[in-house]
């Protein structure tokens, strides 16, 4: 009896507090991402998954052996907060060699848990409530939520197929005295465009002498085709001074699941970046840092990437040209977009689901990359796949 009397109010109390606990969403519009949805559907119906951006082949056995060695050598405790110095030094050497820009490994480079953490951390460090951030859409899906969580305002500018060029006169009109940051992504996911010299000139003209930061998402820096060069922000002093550059080893070394990347920025920006980084993750996977530091010493590990992916692009495009899809240009990344207006007038989300279920090939509807869901009837396929996977997918797509 005594027990029951005590227990009753406790049970009621917990029930009451369960009902009372509230959380006000900072991202009320955010649901499960289209990447998760399409990959899950592809697995469920046994479709070939050309939706999410990851390879279906393994990364180099040599790199895996280097990780094993690092673990066996006892590198299993926390790495330094900013990353292993030997890895930061290799990143600095690589950047200097490629872009003739010096980043001090001590103060200007931080190793992150993938490009996504670099992006989130930079936004978190730099954006105050009501700051405006210019984002070009279609856009990688992590930018806008990060801005909103910080109380910033997303100023989107929509780009259109087939060439998705940035209308710089519109950018100029979008800039206000609240503009704090412009986010760029080249090579670009999902449109596969790359910034040209004219874009760089326009950008420099806009930000020069302005208090505007740049977040440059360069995770596909080595996936540039047809002999074009990657226009890194590191190469241009006016841009370099104000840029956080986000990079990803997962994209380069075919191991997206390792979630390894880095951020480079001038010391004053990096100092603020690290204040957030140290409380977000403190430090990043230690044995993999040892392994990548060693692996990067051989420059062919990244210099061979354009040819490797261009061969896949050319193979996939030549085969896709036999289907009823209309190919859009592909200058970089491992994505190929197509228009399907000759096949159907369905919404892109509907046809993407139908192709997965009825024809066995999963893609991403490009409307998912627009805040307003703008539908240009474009689907994105990922061609970072074995040739046999691409060939099997094409056999199916030919039936449409
Ligand atoms: C444009 C872009 N930025 C960043 C990332 C994230 O890179 P990571 O997997 O290294 O976090 C991706 C991954 O798909 C991407 O496409």
Mind listing the pLDDT tens digit for each residue in 152-211? Answer: 999 999 999 999 999 999 999 999 999 999 999 999 999 999 999 999 999 999 999 899
Q: Is the CB of 114 under 6 A from ligand 1?
A: yes
Could you tell me the distance, in angstroms and rounded to a whole number, from the CA of residue 143 to the centre of ligand 1? Answer: 11
pTM of the model: 0.94
Sequential DSSP letters for 326-394: EEPP--BSSEEEEE-TTT--S-HHHHHHHIIIIISEE-EEGGGGSTT----SEEEEE--S-HHHHHHHH
Q: Are 113 and 259 in contact, with CB atoms under 8 Å apart?
A: yes
The 10s digit of each residue's pLDDT in 297-329 is 999 999 999 999 999 999 999 999 999 999 999
Could you tell me the distance, in angstroms and rounded to a whole number, from the CA of residue 140 to the centre of ligand 1? Answer: 8
The 10s digit of each residue's pLDDT in 50-80 is 998 899 999 999 999 999 999 999 999 999 9
User: Tell me, what's the pLDDT at 1?
Assistant: 37
Q: Which of 8-22, 92-106, 335-349 has the lowest mean pLDDT?
A: 8-22
Q: Is the CB of 146 under 6 A from ligand 1?
A: no
User: Tell me, what's the pLDDT at 6?
Assistant: 44
Q: Supply the residue whose CA is at minimum distance from atom 13 of ligand 1.
A: 53
Q: Is the CB of 261 under 6 A from ligand 1?
A: yes
Query: What is the DSSP pairing of strand 378-382 with strand 132-137?
Result: unpaired
Percent of the chain whose predicted confidence (pLDDT) is above 70: 95
The 10s digit of each residue's pLDDT in 267-281 is 999 999 999 999 999
Q: What is the mean pLDDT of residues 74-92?
A: 98
In the chain, at which residue ranges do the beta strands (DSSP E only) sit?
48-49, 109-112, 132-137, 153-158, 179-185, 213-217, 243-248, 261-264, 326-327, 335-339, 361-362, 364-365, 378-382
- Residue (of 274, 276, 209, 212) closest to 243 by Cα position: 212
Q: Are 215 and 165 in contact, with CB atoms under 8 Å apart?
A: no
Has residue 245 got a pLDDT over 60? yes
Has residue 30 got a pLDDT over 90? no
Has residue 9 got a pLDDT over 60? no
């Amino acid at each position: 009896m005594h027990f029951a009397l005590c227990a009753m109010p406790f049970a009621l109390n917990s029930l009451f507090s369960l009902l009372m606990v509230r959380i006000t969403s900072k991202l009320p519009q955010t649901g499960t991402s289209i990447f998760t949805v399409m990959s899950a559907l592809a697995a469920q119906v046994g479709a070939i998954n050309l939706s999410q951006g990851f390879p279906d082949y393994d990364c180099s056995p040599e790199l895996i052996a280097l990780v094993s060695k690092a673990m066996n050598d006892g590198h299993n405790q926390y790495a330094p907060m900013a990353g292993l110095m030997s890895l930061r030094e290799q990143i600095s050497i690589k950047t200097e060699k490629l872009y003739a820009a010096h980043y001090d490994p001590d103060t200007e480079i931080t190793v992150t848990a993938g490009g996504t953490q670099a992006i989130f951390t930079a936004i978190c460090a730099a954006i105050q409530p009501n700051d405006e951030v210019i984002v070009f859409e279609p856009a990688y899906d992590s930018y806008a939520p990060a801005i909103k969580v910080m109380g910033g305002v997303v100023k989107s500018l929509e780009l259109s197929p087939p060439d998705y060029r940035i209308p710089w006169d519109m950018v100029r009109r979008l800039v206000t005295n609240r503009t704090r940051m412009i986010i760029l992504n080249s090579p670009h996911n999902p449109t596969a465009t790359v910034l040209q010299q004219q874009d760089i000139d326009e950008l420099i003209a806009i930000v020069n002498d302005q208090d505007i930061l740049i977040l440059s998402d360069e995770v596909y820096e080595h996936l540039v085709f047809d002999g074009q060069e990657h226009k890194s922000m590191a190469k241009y002093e006016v841009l370099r001074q104000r840029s956080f550059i986000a990079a990803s080893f997962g994209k380069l070394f075919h191991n997206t699941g390792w979630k390894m990347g880095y951020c480079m920025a001038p010391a004053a920006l990096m100092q603020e970046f690290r204040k957030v980084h140290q409380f977000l993750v403190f430090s990043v996977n230690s044995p993999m840092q040892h392994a990548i530091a060693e692996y990067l010493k051989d420059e062919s590990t990244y210099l061979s990437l354009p040819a490797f992916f261009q061969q896949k692009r050319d193979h996939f495009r030549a085969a896709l040209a036999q289907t009823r899809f209309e190919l859009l240009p592909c200058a970089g990344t491992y994505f190929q977009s197509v228009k399907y207006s000759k096949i159907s007038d369905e919404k892109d989300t509907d046809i993407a689901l139908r192709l997965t279920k009825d024809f066995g090939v999963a893609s991403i509807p490009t409307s998912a990359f627009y805040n307003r869901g703008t539908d240009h009837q474009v689907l994105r396929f990922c061609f970072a796949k074995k040739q046999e996977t691409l060939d099997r997918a094409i056999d199916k797509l030919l039936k449409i």
